[in-house]
């Protein structure tokens, strides 16, 4: 029985690492990942997005995740808010994440503004009997159920960069449970001009620190090679090399595809992943 419990803990750990480390690439560009940084809600004026990831293709009962959400900016461009719904299934795990972010923007001068954000978070995790015989064992009780929490972040905005930090799941930052963990997030984004004001490469880095001192990080880059055609790439500390291609229309509609190539020690077991994003 202990072996089964350790296996479930491993699967939970793997799915959490996978979700945190490979949030859909194009959503970093168009939503700044407001599920981690609520102070960025509505930053790009607002959008509706849908993304689906199929991870570790070829692995039995491999995890997949679907993300649906929106964010918008109102109140004379001062108030941003949104909603993120994420469902993740795979292995012996079924999770639902609901995040409601709200942000307030304070202009400092003509070039700088500061934003503060708060989000309400709900997580529901259920274990299935795919690999577990004693699904109702009391020792597994803390690994499933519903959990409520909140996150806070602040961000500094300039037309050339964004710097932000977040305290995620504030309650469990000092009161860790098996069901939910607190962590800290740092987000840095820069727009680097290459030839002129409109010919730029976008670079973004996200760092996530958990209570055990472990860090997950990923880096992304985007470049519009021709009008309305965007290429992107990145690397995640969960040993994934990411490449992507997106086609946009009038900067309002986007369809993007991402391919995640696993290069870690378990790459021969956990195959590559695919992502499709609509915005």
Reported as a single tens digit per residue, the pLDDT across 235-278 is 887 777 888 888 888 777 888 888 888 776 655 555 677 788 88
pLDDT at residue 17 in the model: 42
Half-sphere exposure of 202 (CA within 13 A, CB side): 20
- At 152, the pLDDT band (50, 70, 90 cuts) reads very high
How many of the other CB atoms lie within 10 Å of CB of 121? 22
CA distance 238 to 22: 8
Per-residue pLDDT, averaged over 13-42, amounts to 61
Strand, helix or coil at 170?
A: helix
Tell me the pLDDT of the chain averaged across its residues: 77
For the chain, the C-alpha Rg in angstroms (whole number) is 19
CA pair distance 165, 206, nearest whole angstrom: 10
pTM value? 0.79
Which residues touch 254 (CB under 8 Å, ≥6 apart)? 26, 30, 230, 246, 247, 248, 277, 278, 279
**Helical segments of 96-252, H only:** 170-173
Minimum mean pLDDT range among 12-21, 155-164, 209-218, 258-267? 12-21
Residue 83: which pLDDT band, with cuts at 50, 70 and 90?
very high
pLDDT band at 81 (very low <50, low <70, confident <90, very high): very high
Q: Which two tokens stand for residue 197?
A: 């004001």
Q: Phi and psi dihedrals of 177, rounded to 5? A: -130, 165
Six-digit token pair at 95?
């999770």
Q: How high is the pLDDT of residue 113? A: 95
**pLDDT tens, residue by residue, 5-27:** 444 333 343 444 444 444 555 55
């Amino acid at each position: 029985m202990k072996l089964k419990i350790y296996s479930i803990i491993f699967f939970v750990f793997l799915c959490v690492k996978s979700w945190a480390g490979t949030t859909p690439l194009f959503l970093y560009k168009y939503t700044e990942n407001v599920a981690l940084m609520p102070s960025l809600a509505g930053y790009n004026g607002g959008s509706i997005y849908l993304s689906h990831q199929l991870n570790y293709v070829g692995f039995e009962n491999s995890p997949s995740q679907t993300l649906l959400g929106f964010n918008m900016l109102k109140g004379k461009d001062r108030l941003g808010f949104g909603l993120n719904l994420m469902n993740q299934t795979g292995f012996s795990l079924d999770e639902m994440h609901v995040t409601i972010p709200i942000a307030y923007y304070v202009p400092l001068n003509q070039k700088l503004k500061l934003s503060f954000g708060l989000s309400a978070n709900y997580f529901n995790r259920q274990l299935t009997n795919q690999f577990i015989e004693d699904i109702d064992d009391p020792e597994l009780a803390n690994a499933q159920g519903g959990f409520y929490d909140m996150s806070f972040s602040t961000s500094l905005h300039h037309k050339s960069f964004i710097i932000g930090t977040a305290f995620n799941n504030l309650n469990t930052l000092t009161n860790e449970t098996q069901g939910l963990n607190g962590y800290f997030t740092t987000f840095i984004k820069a727009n680097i001009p290459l030839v002129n004001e409109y010919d730029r490469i976008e670079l973004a880095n996200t760092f996530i620190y958990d209570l055990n001192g472990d860090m997950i990080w990923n880096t992304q880059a985007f470049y519009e090679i021709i009008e309305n055609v965007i290429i992107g790439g990145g690397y995640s500390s969960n040993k994934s090399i990411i490449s992507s291609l997106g086609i946009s229309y009038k900067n309002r509609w986007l369809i993007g595809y991402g391919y995640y190539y696993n290069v870690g020690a378990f790459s021969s077991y956990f195959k590559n992943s695919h992502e499709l994003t609509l915005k």
